[in-house]
Amino acid sequence: MRKRTEPVALEHERCAAAGSSSSGSAAAALDADCRLKQNLRLTGPAAAEPRCAADAGMKRALGRRKGVWLRLRKILFCVLGLYIAIPFLIKLCPGIQAKLIFLNFVRVPYFIDLKKPQDQGLNHTCNYYLQPEEDVTIGVWHTVPAVWWKNAQGKDQMWYEDALASSHPIILYLHGNAGWGDSVGTPSERGMTYDALHVFDWIKARSGDNPVYIWGHSLGTGVATNLVRRLCERETPPDALILESPFTNIREEAKSHPFSVIYRYFPGFDWFFLDPITSSGIKFANDENVKHISCPLLILHAEDDPVVPFQLGRKLYSIAAPARSFRDFKVQFVPFHSDLGYRHKYIYKSPELPRILREFLGKSEPEHQH
């Protein structure tokens, strides 16, 4: 029997020799057998090569999948580690919470010169600065009624200060956190309340008998109730207090804020996140302040507010309405349906707002300045 390792050329020679010595049919059969063996030898190794290539490709694919899984696992462990580390970091550094509450380092829009409100289309607005104490400067925008638009063109600060003594009511507006402001100093609840008191006294010293209303929005409602409580305690209350998108107190607001969703059910949430706020001296206790306020109170809140939940504004109203301090004053809660889309800061767009204010104040008021 021939060995399988013999060369193909030798096999051809043997097949040819057999063909010359045998009959035609036998030669044909033998030649066919030789071709079959040749084909088997030629096709055998060639068929194995694709299988080897397929195996190698599969191994590479598995290797890539394993590498991706390892990278994903590393990312997952890093995210999990960061998730666990943040509560401890905030607990050890409570000042972080204060920064997140005031967000005074955030400027939106950033490229804006607050000294030039006319660049924002406010040609009847003047920017100036007040100094309640050494090393503290408060940036103020004073906007006169739109009917004075033309008269206000190019006027200086003294003209605007004299305008406070006109017949138009005045609104001291206390805005929420972040976004605006070029005041100098480090924010704190106590400091902001003192600054607001300084501005109120500055206005009263120039406004004569004109009504002065205090309007707070979002975090500004905490400053507003702190301010009005102090004014009522010294028996110089404002003519009315308006709270837009208010909360009950900063702990409940922090727990309800959308940023707290990922940690709301974290073990020890209060200890990690809320106690550091209190230890920083930040309370903004609107629910306690309203029990000591003696002036008309109007609360405005949108049902679709994603920042300060609507139920907190409703809860604040339920605390204020039966309070003895309001027994001689009007307390009103005005909700804005979610279909209107006013959310957290667009109630000012409501065409019903002027009517709501007129009815609440009890008379047809002229345009306000603030």
DSSP 51-120: HHHHHHHHHHHHHHHHHHHHHHHHHHHHHHHHHHHHHHHHHH-THHHHHHHH-TT--SSSS--TT-GGGG
Over 168-236, what HEC string results?
CCEEEEECCCCCCCCCECCCCHHHHHHHHHHHHHHHHHHHCCCCEEEEEECHHHHHHHHHHHHHHHCCC
Residue 158's Cβ-side half-sphere holds a number of Cα atoms within 13 Å equal to 0
Considering the chain, what is the average pLDDT of its residues? 86
- Top pLDDT among 114 and 37 is at 114
Is 239 one of the catalytic residues? no
pLDDT given at position 69? 86
Q: What is the pLDDT of residues 38-80, one digit of tens each?
A: 555 545 555 556 666 666 777 777 777 878 888 898 999 999 9
Q: What's the whole-model pTM score?
A: 0.80
Cα–Cα dist 82/87, whole Å? 9
- Cα R_g (the chain), whole angstroms: 40
Cβ atoms 226, 284 nearer than 8 A? yes
pLDDT above 70: percentage of residues in the chain: 83
Catalytic residue among 217, 305, 325, 368: 305
Cβ atoms 200, 238 nearer than 8 A? yes
pLDDT given at position 259? 86
Cα–Cα dist 10/31, whole Å? 14
pLDDT given at position 59? 72
Task: Output phi, psi for 369, to 5 deg.
Answer: -120, 150
Is 218 one of the catalytic residues? yes
Catalytic residue among 207, 218, 245, 294: 218
Q: Tell me, what DSSP letter sits at residue 362?
A: T
Classify burial at 104, counting beta carbons within 10 Å of its beta carbon; exposed 0-12, middle 13-18, buried 19 or more.
middle
Q: What is the pLDDT of residues 247-302, one digit of tens each?
A: 999 999 999 998 898 998 899 999 999 999 998 899 999 999 999 999 999 999 99
Cα–Cα dist 135/238, whole Å? 28
pLDDT given at position 364? 42
Which of 26-30, 94-98, 353-357 has maximum average pLDDT? Answer: 353-357
pLDDT given at position 169? 94
Is 305 one of the catalytic residues? yes
- For residue 192, give the nearest of 171, 211, 212, 216 by alpha carbon: 216
Catalytic residue among 175, 292, 344, 370: 344
Over 244-275, what HEC string results?
ECCCCCHHHHHHHCHHHHHHCCCCCHHHHHHH
Q: What sign has the CA pseudo-torsion 118, 114, 181, 224?
A: negative
pLDDT given at position 5? 46
